[in-house]
Amino acid sequence: MAFVPPSAEDLGLYLSLGEIDGARADLMIHQAVLLCESVVTPLPDAASVVVLSAAGRAYANPQGVSYETIGPISVQRPQAGLYLTKAERTALKAMAGRGGAFTIDPTPADATPVPTYPIDDDGWWGLEWEPGWGWI
């Protein structure tokens, strides 16, 4: 199953808005999809969660207000604009089956413990082995 981007109505439900500007919502969703594709391509089916989160942040705060005070009430908002948090990038990679620890064994399947280099029983280039001193 291929990734299907969320619709403007989905973004409206996500933001709990009764009315939503469809053209602007579609633009935010499209830009969020492009941003997510810069992390993982193709996008996994569950990536709509991250797309809605990024598009919702950008849609809800178009002026990029980071701090506002009205009377006795102060509100601090997250960073403005369309961006992905570190957690969202990590989630995208995990949804795509990437990330996490893994091991690659470079040893060939037909490898044996037998040395492949020539063994000189007479010592090393004519030298003798002296215990504690090495080759002399």
List average pLDDT for each run of 10 residues in the chain, which is 136 residues long. Answer: 88 91 93 93 92 91 76 77 89 84 84 72 66 79
CB atoms within 10 A of CB 107: 6
Task: Name the token pair of 56.
Answer: 């919702």
Asked whether residue 130 is assigned to any structural domain, the reply reads no
Asked whether residue 113 is assigned to any structural domain, the reply reads no
Task: Name the token pair of 26.
Answer: 């579609």
Asked whether residue 28 is assigned to any structural domain, the reply reads yes
Q: What pLDDT shows up at residue 119?
A: 62
Q: What pLDDT shows up at residue 6?
A: 93
Asked whether residue 36 is assigned to any structural domain, the reply reads yes
Asked whether residue 35 is assigned to any structural domain, the reply reads yes
Q: Are 130 and 136 in contact (CB under 8 A)?
A: yes
Say how many domains are in the chain: 1
> 39 is in which domain, residue-wise?
8-65+78-87
Asked whether residue 46 is assigned to any structural domain, the reply reads yes
Asked whether residue 98 is assigned to any structural domain, the reply reads no
Asked whether residue 27 is assigned to any structural domain, the reply reads yes
Residue 35 gets which letter from DSSP?
H
Pairwise CA distance, residues 115 & 123, whole Å: 16
Q: Are 26 and 8 in contact (CB under 8 A)?
A: yes
Pairwise CA distance, residues 24 & 117, whole Å: 69
pTM above 0.75, yes or no: no
